Structure 1
């Protein structure tokens, strides 16, 4: 789907990849409804948009609040007259702890934000998207959706659920105007740890880090060619190949690189 002239909703748009996506969409001639839990983040996105900010509408919202999510499509249509795309980008990580060391509230919050937030947004907007001549749905999962990371078991499970949901939607929506893209980012320079209330330790051995602006360009290029999925970052591409060749070797490699983080706990 060509993005010029389209209206796209982006969640988690107050920082990181979501903010970069909103700004890149504006540059490509789209109008954007930006959604984030933090209104101050949305104001920052608006300020960074500069002269293009007229194409933005700001929607402070908790995506786990189903009634408010269900009311959002009408608010977006009131602001822009239509909605042609949805990018479910908002997400959080868990503390780097073993499963049994996590509090129940943490487990539930990760699943609510990453999976149910994505599910609520998709169900709220899909009827509108189906009514457009062409439309696009993007769900941002994670490299952790296909390769297990010790200390991020619940985060990975939540993103694996998003991955399979997205692939199933791609199949279900064949023959409709809605195209679907699955995004699988690796390490990226974002504020996800800070906004998740989690300390962000570094893995041993060094990991290539993708800048969110570059990730946004790659992802939106994929949308414009209606790609089924897109891997964001050298690490995501390398681990995707390695996991296909040997899931056990790939799992052991990640375990060795991350083991010191769990040993600290």
Structure 2
């Protein structure tokens, strides 16, 4: 689905990939409803200087179903209709084993990453089905198909997003609503920088993360080309291939690449 003249909802719009998605969608002629939770409001509102009423900002806690269910009415009041959603918002868990995590932390990760995505899909789907052409893009993670050390709950939540999205694709294949699942590898955003993780080789550039700009461009291209699945970054592509070939070997490789502080 080409995004020009479409109304696209973007979650996690306050920074990183989300903010770049907003910027690039606007540059391509879309109207954007930017969903934020706590941070990034000023940066997003700064886009109004250039794009005026083509962008609107909405505050919502995606883990709260009531917050999410209020969004369509707000967005339609601003833009008239909704053509697509990009579920980009997500959080990491603390870098601990499952044994050391408390249930509150576990619940929070599942609520934001999985239930937040589910609430968005289920809430917006009736509106999308009423459009001539519409789209759902869900951002999972390389961790959605490959375990990451001390991120078992995060990867479980992203694997759930993967299966939800692939199920939606199957359910909606004879409708006007397209569906894409995205698996980013390492992206240089605050979600990584603030998580207490060290990736070997970053100092000598042997491990090059995608920039948020590159990741956003790949996601939008996948949406516009109606891709079933999108692997964002060479690491995601390589590990996807290796995991299909030899899951145990791929798991050993990622364990050796990533070490916790």
TM-score grouping bracket, smaller chain normalisation: over 0.9
Q: Which residue of 2 aligns with 1:21?
A: 21
Q: Does residue 80 of structure 2 align to residue 59 of structure 1? A: no
Displaced runs of 4+ in structure 1, greater than 3 A? none
CA distance in 2, matches of 1:240, 1:187: 13
Whether the aligned pair in 2 keeps the contact of 1:208 and 1:234 (CA below 8 Å) is no
Alignment of 1:181-260 (within 5 A): 181-193=180-192, 199-206=195-202, 207-258=207-258, 260=259
Q: Which runs of 5+ in 1 are unaligned?
A: none
- Write the distance in 2 (CA, Å) between the matches of 1:82 and 1:98: 44
Q: Deviations over 1:75-131 (max 9, x none)?
A: 110000000000011000011111111121110100000000000011100000000
Q: SS of the counterpart of 2:199?
A: coil
1:85 equivalent in structure 2: 84
| Greater share of helix | 1
State the partner residue of 2:170: 171
Partner of 2:10: 10
Mapped partners of 1:201, 1:48: distance in 2 = 32
TM-score (norm 1): 0.93
Query: 3-state SS of the aligned residue for 2:162?
Result: helix
Give distance in 2, aligned partners of 1:81 and 1:48. 20
1:256 Cα deviation (Å)? 2.1
Query: Do the aligned residues in 2 keep the contact of 1:46 with 1:53 (CA within 8 Å)?
Result: no
Paired residue secondary structure (1:122): helix
Decide whether the 8 Å contact of 1:181 with 1:230 is kept in 2.
yes
* Unaligned stretches of 5+ residues in structure 2: none
Q: Classify the secondary structure of the residue corresponding to 1:202.
A: strand
Q: CA deviation at 1:48?
A: 4.6
Give how far 1:183 is off: 0.6
Report the number of matched residues: 257
